[in-house]
Structure 1
Amino acid sequence: MAASAGSGPAAPTHAELRRLAVATLDGNWEHDHTVPSRTLYPHQWSWDSAFIAVGLVHVRPDRAWRELRTLFAAQWTDGRVPHIVFNPALRVGSYFPGPEFWNSAAADGAPAAATSGLVQPPVHALAAWLAHRRAPSEESARALRRLYPRLVAQQRYLTVHRDVGGAGLACIVHPWESGVDNSPAWDAPMAAVPADVAVMRAYRRHDTTYADAAHRPTDLDYARYVAIVAAYREAGYRDDGLAGRHPFLVECPLVSAALGAAEHALARIAPVVGADPGPHRDRAARITEALVERLYDPVTGTFHPRDLRTDRLIPARTALGLMPLILPDLPARQVAAVVTEACSARFGLSARMDRPLPSHDRTAPDFEPLRYWRGPSWMNLNWLLWRGLRSHGRPDLAAGLRQSMLDLVATAGCHEYFHPDTRAGLGSPAFSWTASLLLDVLAES
């Protein structure tokens, strides 16, 4: 796009954006995986690697499969895929909370690699299916055959070990497991977690060394994060008896939607690897039914997390409530309701968006445009919603969201997240999933 005389520099072309994305991913490659960034996140993160594989397959398909293979090599024997796999070459104390804090080696079923004991949204089967579909080959089919039993084990872990509510949905035991760490969705259940801010004096936070503290979770947030991990760690990261002892137990719309989308993806993968897709379709249908039954509020017309400690829906209206749109079998009533919510003043989705999609209701009194998941715009949530809009017959809104995503990177580069009004880049620069998902949206109009 050329700028008119006197209007400033021309916006980057799609080819220039693509080169930026490839350079970002190449710069973050670590011999068998991609770090999210060279500053804030020097290890391997679970759902980051899934999103990274989605984009890498367009330019480096061998790396896309190696990304997933490396992550699943650290899978626990119970099927959990840890949310962090630590790089042993980094010095102790280079990241908080590091491997010495998690002490995974002391837990039954942990891998030889040092990892965390938590999980993240299971977007990996979807990533694996998209990687194969977009660059099909005998090599990708072999990669699927290796990954398939591990992906099935991941689903089994979540739907069996983590079904605290008894309805077939996975319960998260920490806000970090949602991927949206300090979302207002967690304020109420977090307020019930006893924590002493003074405990943080024993640690050095890594994130505020590289990012403005005003843009990150607070020390009180971190004190509670530490308290929740400590409770889980002291129980050996076991999931039996969670209802009776664990301080944070929530069913999350994003995690639940990803769980259902994974079964749909596995139903696509199954014929490629010689397995029966039928059980995956059946499980997907049950997950969607449970998600609607337990997390949809007909009064607000959107999805909310359920706090299992109180057995109540959490009232905050965040972008989490839009994520069930990724389910291809979401009933028409809920599809229409989610689209209405997305197009409301709270989120501002339209065919011609004048502002990016925020991560939290921009009309809410606790909307914070600079603080992490309490308002800023994130490429991964945008991408998930974009996919959902396309699958449910809203190409007009999908096109508007796609252009908004392109505008974010054209304005600020491949940042971790973005100001929901100005599009200014926030968090870490040269962020991998932003680059990767940019490649994916560039590849499809």
Structure 2
Amino acid sequence: MKTLLDRPAPTAAADLTLRRGAARVLLDNWTGTSTVPSRTLYPHQWSWDSAFISIGLRHLSVRRAQQELESLFAAQWADGRIPHIVFNPALPHDAYFPSPAFWRSSTAGRTAGAPAATETSGIVQPPVHALAALLVHRADPDESRRRGFLARVHPHLTAWHDYLLVHRDLGGAGLAAVVHPWEAGTDNSPSWDTALTRVEPIAPDTFRRADLNHGQPTDRPTDLDYGRYVRLATDYRTAGYDDRATRFAFAVEDPCFNALLIASEYALAELTAELGGDGGHHLHRAATLTEQLLTRLWDENAGLFKARDLTSGELVDERTISGLVPLIVPHLPQNAVRHLEQALRGPHFAAPGTCLVPSYDLTGHAFDPQRYWRGPAWFNTAWLVHHGLRTHGLHSTAARLREGILTEAARSGFAEYIDPVTGDARGARNFSWTAALALDLLSSTGAGAGLEEAAALREAAVLPALRTVVKESPA
């Protein structure tokens, strides 16, 4: 059985090859304004993808990383939501489904404040953006201050968090709810199965999936799942994307989503202080959210966090990667941290074929090693767990996970995700957040400042090649 200790000692040459390969992926997936997750499967801009991508891009070009975030924020709705997709108008509508013609954001979302000139989806994704903005700022604070980066993004981030904490507090306890499985990021997780049984699916012959043109059906969500996803999005669109007017058939408090909101509230407190303001409001919100996360979503018997179905009021009895990501939250009780670290090493998540963390319980009734978020191990969630381990001083475990992530990124061709049983690469290759987060972990501290890494990349002649392609404009 493969373990986190099985990676051979890295060499400088291997790491340099990995750096160059990761940089090439990000260059190739650049559109001129942002970075697509995949040229084939995901040809538009995705919200939390761009946040992760900016974290890696900061080691290549701070300006490019800033632009990645700002291009996303330019499509923010007036009510504060950051849509999960920003569509590229140069692409045909059938390049991806649901397409701009399905979401109709500029018309159906007009009352909610959707931009008139940019087509987007009407739902959101996990709020990792303030954390990303902070890391981009830390990569070169002088450049960030000179270009006024924080002053520009700060209003977008505060409006985004306000939206989640006001409009999406559907449970009344302070946590943000997701109203579509796609909003959680873990699209077809078994955690959503019970709630989705209440949703009447739209007939599959009424829409045409584009994802199956570029992915294996055995890797992707089923037609039945898709029919329910489309129904939820259609009902939300019919209600004008109004959170108060919509009767949500699906509403869940997800631990990963809320943990990222907490981490980003801490980041926003620091960004506010950097701009000369008082970050105390955000620190208070982070503390309150942490209390509610523990009160509402912690399962002491399971030793991890679980989602809460707001229709039934019950915790969802499934172990998923979402229950481990809250390691990124500072000031968790030591008992919770200890249980979460034990879960990583235990039978539910210690995979035989990869050093990454499976998205679902290896012993669970719905485990599928190939199908999207029902078992496969993902690089972004592994990065988040690594970040959380470091947050709580678990440096030895974090270091082993870091080496595993880098090994898998190189071996898989920057795959979208990994089969946890066989170790085979699955999904798209040359996937942007895989490349970006590998770049981040190649820096001296993984999720820390990026100045030393930027110098190393210049010596490796990566930045000159980047600038040849990018032709960065002066501030």
User: TM-score band (shorter)?
Assistant: over 0.9
* Residue in structure 1 matched with residue 18 of structure 2 by the alignment: 17
Which residues in structure 2 correspond to 1:361-440 (within 5 Å)?
Answer: 361-440=361-440
Residue number in structure 1 paired with 2:281: 279
2 CA distance for matches of 1:224 and 1:349? 30
CA distance in structure 1 between the aligned counterparts of 2:299 and 2:144, rounded to whole angstroms? 45
Instruction: Supply the distance in 2 between the matched residues of 1:387 and 1:299 (Cα, whole angstroms).
Output: 25
Task: Kindly indicate whether the alpha-carbon contact (under 8 Å) linking 1:355 and 1:421 is maintained by their aligned counterparts in 2.
Answer: no
Aligned to 2:226: 222
2:149 to 137, 143, 150: 143
Residues 1:92 and 2:96 aligned together: no
The superposition leaves residues 230-271 of structure 1 with CA deviations (integer Å, 9 ceiling, x where unpaired) of 1111100001144xx210000000111011111100111112
Equivalent residue in structure 2 for 1:345, among 332, 342, 347: 347
- For residues 30-77 of structure 1, the C-alpha deviation after alignment (integer angstroms, 9 at most, x for no partner) is 111000010000100000000000000000211100010000000000
Equivalent residue number for residue 55 of structure 2: 54
**Residue 114 of structure 2: aligned partner:** 110
- CA contact under 8 A between 1:165 and 1:308: conserved in structure 2? yes
Change (3 A) 1:354 1:195: closer
The one-letter code sitting in structure 2 at the alignment partner of 1:324 is P
- Match of residue 132, structure 2, among 127, 136, 139: 127
Letter in 1 for 2:297: L
- Structure 2 counterpart of 1:272, which letter? E
Deviation (angstroms), 1:138: 3.6
C-alpha contact 2:348 2:363 (8 A) present in aligned 1: yes
TM-score (norm 1): 0.94
* Residue number in structure 1 paired with 2:320: 318
Q: Which residue of 1 aligns with 2:451?
A: none
- The match for 1:234 among 216, 233, 238 is 238
2:290 corresponds in structure 1 to 288
Q: 1-side partners of 2:104 and 2:245: how far apart?
A: 21
Instruction: Output the CA distance in 2 between the equivalents of 1:274 and 1:140.
Output: 12
Q: Secondary structure at the match of 2:88?
A: coil
For the pair 1:180 / 2:186, whether they are aligned, the reply is yes
Give 3-state SS (helix, strand or coil) of 2:93's partner. Answer: coil
TM-score normalised per structure 2: 0.88
Question: Separation in 2 of the partners of 1:26 and 1:275?
Answer: 36
Alpha-carbon distance between aligned partners in 2 of 1:140 and 1:361, rounded to the nearest angstrom = 44
Q: Indicate the SS of the match to 2:440.
A: helix
Gaps of 5+ in 1: 1-6
The corresponding residue for 2:177 is 171
Unpaired runs of 5+ residues, structure 2, are 1-7, 446-475
- Three-state SS of the structure 2 residue aligned to 1:444 is coil
Aligned-residue RMSD, C-alpha:
1.7
After superposition, give the CA deviation of every residue in 1:256-313 in whole Å (9 maximum; x if it has no partner): 1011111100111112112211111100000000100000111212110000000000
Structure 1 counterpart of 2:433, one-letter code: W
Larger deviation, residues 432-441 vs 89-98: 89-98
Aligned to 1:4: none
Within-5 A mapping of 1:64-79: 64-79=65-80
**C-alpha spacing 1:307/1:213, structure 2 compared with 1 (3 Å):** same
Question: What is the aligned length?
Answer: 431
* Alignment check: 8 A CA contact 2:239 2:245 kept: no
Describe the superposition over 1:392-444 as per-residue Cα deviations: whole angstroms up to 9, x where unpaired: 01111101111110111121111111111333211111110000000001113
Percent of counterpart pairs with the same letter? 50
